[in-house]
């Protein structure tokens, strides 16, 4: 399997996430699209960790570092989701809606 197919798959998932974040107004769906983008980047990092690097770079070390990065991205995403969903619940409690267009009253 060549690396470019995994790159194209990651690009497709990322761009679908961008499209969802730009076109939807439901805050929960926008948040899920952000999770989708994070996951496409994780997939790309894991794919790069399995790349044949030749003999110049010690393969095991660089590959393990890539997978540790993915692990930390998952940790940060879990923390981010808990705070973000709390913000969405607070927003629903205050405005009785989760439409992100209601948030622009912050600028006044």
Crossing angle for the helix pair 59-95 and 27-49, to the nearest 10 degrees? 180
Using DSSP, state whether 37 is helix, strand or coil.
helix
The count of residues interacting with another protein (CB under 8 A) is 72
Binding another protein (rule: CB under 8 A), the pick from 55, 56, 58, 83 is 83
Nearest alpha carbon to residue 45 among 32, 59, 63: 63
| Residue 37 beta carbon to another protein: minimum distance, rounded to whole angstroms | 10
Q: Which one, 68 or 103, has the nearer CB to another protein?
A: 68
Q: Rounded to the nearest 5°, which phi and psi values hold at 58? A: -65, 110
Binding another protein (rule: CB under 8 A), the pick from 71, 105, 106, 107 is 71
* Contacts with another protein, 37-66, as mask; x by CB under 8 A: --x--xx--xx-xxxx------xx--xxx-
């Amino acid at each position: 399997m060549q690396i470019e197919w995994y790159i194209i798959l990651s690009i497709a998932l990322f761009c679908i996430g961008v499209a969802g974040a730009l076109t939807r107004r439901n805050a929960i769906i926008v948040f899920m699209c952000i999770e989708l983008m994070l996951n496409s980047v994780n997939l790309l990092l894991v794919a790069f960790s399995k790349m044949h690097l030749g003999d110049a770079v010690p393969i095991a070390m660089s590959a393990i570092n890539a997978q540790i990065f993915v692990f930390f991205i998952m940790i940060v995403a879990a923390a981010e989701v808990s705070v973000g969903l709390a913000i969405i619940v607070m927003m629903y409690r205050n405005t009785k809606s989760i439409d992100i267009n209601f948030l622009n009253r912050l600028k006044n």
